[in-house]
Every structure is written in C-alpha cells, then in structure tokens.
Structure 1
C-alpha cells in the first residue's frame, strides 16, 4: 500500500471516529468518549508519521533537536535558562501536539535546568517548579534563582527538596541581566540572606554561585562552612560579596575542602573610587584548599598575613590568579612574596581602579626571568588616570618574550577610554612590540575593543 493511500484511509478513519465521539457526547457516554478519543489520538499519531518526515525520526534524535533549541542567546550573548512558563520551551512544547508532548515528557534532559524569577506572584508557582524538576527523573539538576530570597522562602525549600540531585546552584539578586564593565556604578547597600537548613546534604553539588547586586549575608562564618561540609563534591564556588557576624564566629580552625578547584571572592565591579569595601574577607582564614587551581580575589581589606597563611597551609597547585591588590599591601615586597608561594602560576590577571602602582608593580616584578617561571599569560585591567610607562612594559616583554627560556605567550593591558589620557604608543615602543608579535607573542594594549598595535 502506498503512503498516500494509507494516509487517505487514516483520514477517513479519523472522520468516522470524530463522528462517533460527537454521538457519544450527545448520549453522554463517558467511557465510550474516552475510548474513541484514545483511538483518534493513535490514528493522528500514525497520520503524522506518514505526512511529517520529522515524526519518523527516532525519539533520541527528536529529543536532541528539542534540546538544541532549548537555549537561546540575546544580543549581549546571555544564554537563556528554561523557566516554568507555559509559553516558553520546554513547557511550550507540551501544547503543540500529542507527538511533541510525548517527546518532551520522554526527554528528561529538557527538564534539568530551571530559572526562578522572584518574586513569583503566584501561590502555585513552586508546585509548578517542583513538577518541572520531577520530569528530569534521576538526572542531575541546575537551578538559578533571580530576585529576593528574603521575600520567597519557598525558593530555598525547593532547593532542599531536590538537594540530592542538585549539581549547580546560582543565586543572582538581579532579575534582569546587564553587561558588566569596569565602570559599573557601586550598588545600593542592601543584602540578601542565604541560609540552608542545618543537616541539608548536597552530595552532587559541583558549582555554587552567589552573585547578588550587593551583599550575601550569612549569620556566622560557620553557616557558610556548613555549605562546604554539605557539598564534598563542590568544585567551583563564587561569591561576589559576603558579610558575616564576626562577633558570633565560633570556628575552631580552618576547614579543609579537598575537591574545590575554583574559588572566586569579591568582584572588581564593587570597588568604588575611594577604595571602600562591601566584602568581608573573613572566610579566608577558615579555609584550606589543597586542590585549588583557579583563584579570583578582590577583597581590598584582605590582610597580607591571612593571604600568605592561606597559601602556606593549602599548598595548592594554583595555575590562575585574578586579583586586586589590597590597599594595605606594600605593592612590590608584599605582592612579590605572595606570588612566590605559587610558583605553578600560569595566568596572572590584575585589576586596578585606584592608581598606576598595581600595573607598575607587576611590570617591575616580571623583569626578573626567574620570577614565576611557569607564567604564560598576563592580563592587566586598568582604570587609571595617569600615563602608562610603555617603555617599562616593552623592556619586560623583551626579557620574557619569544627568546626567553621562560617565555610569555600573551600579554594584555586593557584600560577604559578615559584612561592613559589618550596618549598614543611611542613609535620606538610600538616597533619593539610589533616585532615581538611577529615572533609569536600575543599582545593587546588599549581599550577592550581597540588594540593600539
């Protein structure tokens, strides 16, 4: 039988079933209606397989197509995360057709990620979110909370309910995303409280990101350490700003976490021009991280002794450091001694919004070829109002350039349009740097989207 003939017979059969359903509805025969409706849906499914080539694909391929279109990017490159919204995928797939509904409900990968916009404004919202996550079955979960937890305690209840499956948890105080720049204004001083019920276990948690637009508040340092204790598999922890009640801290000594390899404390975006702080450094003395490979620390009142003690007891195989040099440090002696504790360092990135000393300090230190022998990449983010000493930069890069045994692979000096007083590169410096580029060294000097070379 040809495909066209089979499709015609199915359409005829569906017309007969539709007429029979109408008759059953007229006589109020509920059981008969259900049976006929089931037959009609099956006939429609078969017809779809004849007339729709997509419907003939294996379920695994159809599911992969759904997964491919699930995430989309906006103009800033932000990737959307699925939400419990009937008009958006994957929930939107359920109302297209019976076939699409079956595919969506048979594809647990579609339901592994959920973004909650708080406040919800719906008393049934968290029940709907719970149903959404249950469709992921036994797969690991990723949950993103955007908004105020203080107004929505049900959000953390949902996290606790699914804590045994939770792999990634992100808290972002701002419901609307915006592009981050060096010139972002300091946020209004407000905080969001983050506390997990004592005893909650997070055995699968690998990533925890707390990025409110002001400060994340913990009652005590021990409440933060409870999160580390509950998540032995945690590998990445990011917190933009934290505040602790130091007077009630009762921690006997540093807690060792053997799995954490990426730690980010504070953000350069929250440092104002006066060097005021919104971040408490109090977690540093209470952590020992022997597996740490990537460290980002922007805590302007972090003490030199606490920082060096942390590195000494952890002895981490640190490969990447992104840092704002604290205000109390002596730029060259303290920073140099700090860096000598991490000879494994491959990537060094500094951010300064105060003056030239951080950039100058880094350039001066690296003129020694035996300092940080494994260093391959330098990134300097500068928002400074004095001219850059390009001659020093060129001399340092020549010493650690392609001809050196401890050669750099890339160097970036990025500053805002208002920095460096608009002065160009001197001709002889530009010529030297261009020669280094020809020899294989990647160099960027200038604004983020403008290389002066």
Structure 2
C-alpha cells in the first residue's frame, strides 16, 4: 500500500479526458449524470470500514476509493472533493507509512483528509501493522484526536503501550464518541505487567459512548471509561472479578460478548440482577462459574462456548440452586424446564452451544418442549443450536419441532446440519 499526499497529487498526462461539445466531441454519458447521483455512486465504491485488525487494507491508498476517484478526470476529481462523506473515515496502518515521514507531516495529511468533510461526524482508526513501530505516530495521533475530538463518532486504536501512555494527556472531552475499540496486540506481558497503562483517562469524558470493544490484551482495568451508558461490550479473556465489575458498572448494558477465565472469583452475597442485558455470549471455552452470580430477567439470547466437561470439580452454572456440584447440563436443563422453574430466564428466545458436547437426553427434550409455549411475562424459546451432539436423533425433538421451535443440530459447514421448523425438515 502506498500512502500519498491526497490534496496535491497531479493528474497523470496519460489519462484521456472527455471532450466537450465545443471541442468537436461528445461528452461521455457518465459525465452527464447529476452531481448528487455521481456522489452516491462514489460512496458505494468505498472499501468497507475495517474491523480492529492489523490486516485491514483500506485507508489512504491510491489504488482504492476515494483517492482513486481523484485520478480519473477533472470532473470526477471535483465531485469527489466536494462529497464530504467520502472522507469521513480514515484508517492508518503505521507500519505501511513511508519511513521518511515525520509526525508533523503525518498530522498535516490527516488534517487535509478530514478538511473535506465539512461538519460531518468522523471515524478514525489506527493499526500498528507490525510490532516494530516503537511508538512512531504517537504525537501525531494525539494531535489528531485533540483537534477533531468534537466530531469523532468512532475511534479504533490498535497500538503499543507507549502510544496509549502519550494519549493519556488528552483528557477529552469527546462529546460525539459512540463507538470505541482498543487493542494492545504486541503487549507481551500478562495483565499484571501492564500496570503502566492502568486507569488511562483519555476517553473518560464521552457522554454518548455506547459500544466498546477490547481486543488483543487490552483489558477493562487499563482504562477509565464511562461504563454506565454502554449498550454493547465485546472483550477477550476477563477474570471473574473484571466480569462482575463490568456487569455492575454498565447498568444499561444490552449485549455482552466475552470470555471468562477460571481464576477464583472474589464475590459474596446474592446474585447480581441485571435488568437490561438481552444478549450474553460466553466464548472461547469460558468458565461457567461466573454465571451463577447473575440473575438475568431480560435475557433473550444465550450463546455458550464452555470449558465444562461434566466434572464435579467445576463451578457450575446452576449449582447454587441445588446446593450441589454435579453435572452442569443436568442442572441447567432442569432449571430451563418451565414446568419446574417458571422464573428462570423468562424472556429467553435463543439458546446455542458451540464447542460443547453433551447427550440429548429426555430431560433436555422435556426442557426444550416446555419452552415452546408462552406464559405470564414469559417468552417462547424460538431456536436451539447444538453443534456437537451426543445421542441425538431427529425424532427425539419432534414435539419441540411441531410446536414451532427452530432446531439446529450439527456444525453449519457440514452437510449433516439438520434444520426443522414447524414440522418441516431441511437437510443441508
């Protein structure tokens, strides 16, 4: 990828420009389109906004829109430069920048890029692309965030500790910030060795922040953030205490995706009730011990990838109900049976197990069947997914199928996937 100064690049002499009628030729039909329609076409040429990833390809690339559009002809150049939304997102890969580029010039190029956006909201993301950046770009990034803080709606930073330490002097405010992603991809130490970056506060004043993503060794305790208003959080491995802190601090949280390790949890008292969480995904072989500290009356979707071979030594999801430490699945599906526990997860509509295997026994079938009907303040379970079943036959779930539940048994990438809905079976 080549990075260019986007405002002064001359047009290549080899490019043939359309002749005007006054020059004895006919204008190309595409140049007769209304300015607004051409602008809309240009917007559809933009590469997708990257996820927080070191291999994202878009950014100031001369072979991609919007820079490519400046090089076709003068008409298209003028349209592109006068279309603010073409320039609202900028993604930088620091390792791909020219080696002789200093930070003052980097800042100037970003200022030139965002100058074309008028008063539009902005999206700014930075990835290292290599572990050998050695703090390059930190001053330019800090200056960019300071300058454009009032209009930054999305910020994604995949940086080294040295970068974040220099950003700590910004102290906001970020009045428009709604989506924030933070990652430390090349932090080689454990979380305990990252004390230098704990309680960083550059984004503490962000009253509209709703979506937060931690990745690549970035942890909640490294940053001071306004968790209370968050509606969606995604993060990697958390300790049990970090998980509970997040649940207690983000009182309006609606969607949480994370993994939870099996370290001891320092908690005593009644389970924590969260009255807004609608989707919980415990991924990457999470410990189930954490969930027994929760009461989730509004939960609609539960996605589980669990580190729980049926072992009495494990803390189990529902052990506190029976005051026992038996099989996780035994107590889970016993509690899921609405005829026995009508108050357990009353709003649950979707349940899935990934990277987890268990026997589809009669108690499992009975629990699923009981969830096909609604009741007072209760919702019907609309879908059930089990990727690695044991002892499963299609007929064993016939009653649930007939009552309208969507059953998905088997991995999605194999022909053995079996789907059934309202009594109809579809083989893939």
Q: TM-score with structure 1 length normalisation?
A: 0.66
Picking from 245, 251, 254, the partner of 1:293 is 254
| Aligned: 1:335 with 2:291 | yes
Picking from 104, 119, 133, the partner of 1:138 is 119
1:171 aligns to what?
157
1:203 aligns to what?
175
1:262 aligns to what?
232
| Aligned: 1:63 with 2:54 | no
SS in 1 for 2:96: coil
1:440 aligns to what?
404
Q: How far apart are the structure 2 equivalents of 1:345 and 1:257? A: 19
Give the conservation status (yes or no) of the 8 Å contact 1:71–1:79.
Answer: no
Question: What is the Cα deviation at residue 383 of structure 1?
Answer: 4.5
1:10 aligns to what?
none
Structure number with the higher helix fraction is 1
Give the conservation status (yes or no) of the 8 Å contact 2:240–2:264.
Answer: no
SS in 2 for 1:202: coil
Picking from 350, 354, 371, the partner of 1:400 is 371
- The change in CA–CA distance for 1:218 and 1:99 in structure 2 (over 3 A counts) is farther
2:346 aligns to what?
373
Tell me how many residue pairs correspond in the alignment: 357
Q: How far apart are the structure 1 equivalents of 2:40 and 2:383? A: 38
- The change in CA–CA distance for 1:388 and 1:194 in structure 2 (over 3 A counts) is farther
- The change in CA–CA distance for 1:136 and 1:228 in structure 2 (over 3 A counts) is same
SS in 2 for 1:168: strand
Picking from 293, 299, 308, the partner of 1:345 is 299
Q: Structure 1, unaligned stretches of length 5 or more?
A: 1-40, 174-189, 268-276
- The change in CA–CA distance for 1:309 and 1:369 in structure 2 (over 3 A counts) is closer
SS in 1 for 2:260: coil
Question: What is the Cα deviation at residue 347 of structure 1?
Answer: 1.1
Q: How far apart are the structure 1 equivalents of 2:41 and 2:229? A: 35
Give the conservation status (yes or no) of the 8 Å contact 2:409–2:418.
Answer: yes
SS in 2 for 1:401: coil
Deviations 1:274-329 (A, max 9, x none): xxx7x6954853762232111223231576555989945xx541111112586483
- The change in CA–CA distance for 1:262 and 1:390 in structure 2 (over 3 A counts) is same
Deviations 1:128-166 (A, max 9, x none): 233222222221111222225753223444333322221
Q: How far apart are the structure 1 equivalents of 2:182 and 2:258? A: 14
Deviations 1:385-431 (A, max 9, x none): xx53444432221121247764201111234xxxx6xx562x4xx21
Q: How far apart are the structure 2 equivalents of 1:237 and 1:73? A: 16
Superposed, which structure 2 residues align to 1:303-342 within 5 Å?
304=265, 311=272, 315-323=274-282, 327=287, 329=289, 335-338=291-294, 340=295, 342=296
1:413 aligns to what?
386
1:33 aligns to what?
none
Q: TM-score with structure 2 length normalisation?
A: 0.70
- The change in CA–CA distance for 1:336 and 1:410 in structure 2 (over 3 A counts) is same
Superposed, which structure 2 residues align to 1:153-164 within 5 Å?
153=138, 154-164=140-150
- The change in CA–CA distance for 1:398 and 1:52 in structure 2 (over 3 A counts) is same
Give the conservation status (yes or no) of the 8 Å contact 1:347–1:375.
Answer: yes
1:120 aligns to what?
96
| Aligned: 1:236 with 2:211 | yes
Q: Structure 2, unaligned stretches of length 5 or more?
A: 1-16, 312-316, 318-327, 420-428
Picking from 76, 95, 106, the partner of 2:71 is 95
SS in 2 for 1:343: coil
210-219 or 346-355: which moved more?
210-219
Question: What is the Cα deviation at residue 235 of structure 1?
Answer: 0.3
| Aligned: 1:151 with 2:135 | yes
- The change in CA–CA distance for 1:103 and 1:244 in structure 2 (over 3 A counts) is closer
Give the conservation status (yes or no) of the 8 Å contact 1:218–1:242.
Answer: no
SS in 1 for 2:85: helix
397-406 or 61-70: which moved more?
397-406
Give the conservation status (yes or no) of the 8 Å contact 1:322–1:349.
Answer: yes
1:186 aligns to what?
none
Give the conservation status (yes or no) of the 8 Å contact 2:254–2:279.
Answer: yes
2:423 aligns to what?
none
Q: How far apart are the structure 2 equivalents of 1:383 and 1:157? A: 47
- The change in CA–CA distance for 1:55 and 1:308 in structure 2 (over 3 A counts) is farther
- The change in CA–CA distance for 1:129 and 1:376 in structure 2 (over 3 A counts) is same
- The change in CA–CA distance for 1:411 and 1:48 in structure 2 (over 3 A counts) is farther
4+ residue segments displaced more than 6 Å: 45-49, 78-81, 307-310
Deviations 1:98-150 (A, max 9, x none): 00100100101000111111213420444323322222222111122222575
Question: What is the Cα deviation at residue 82 of structure 1?
Answer: 3.9
SS in 2 for 1:222: coil
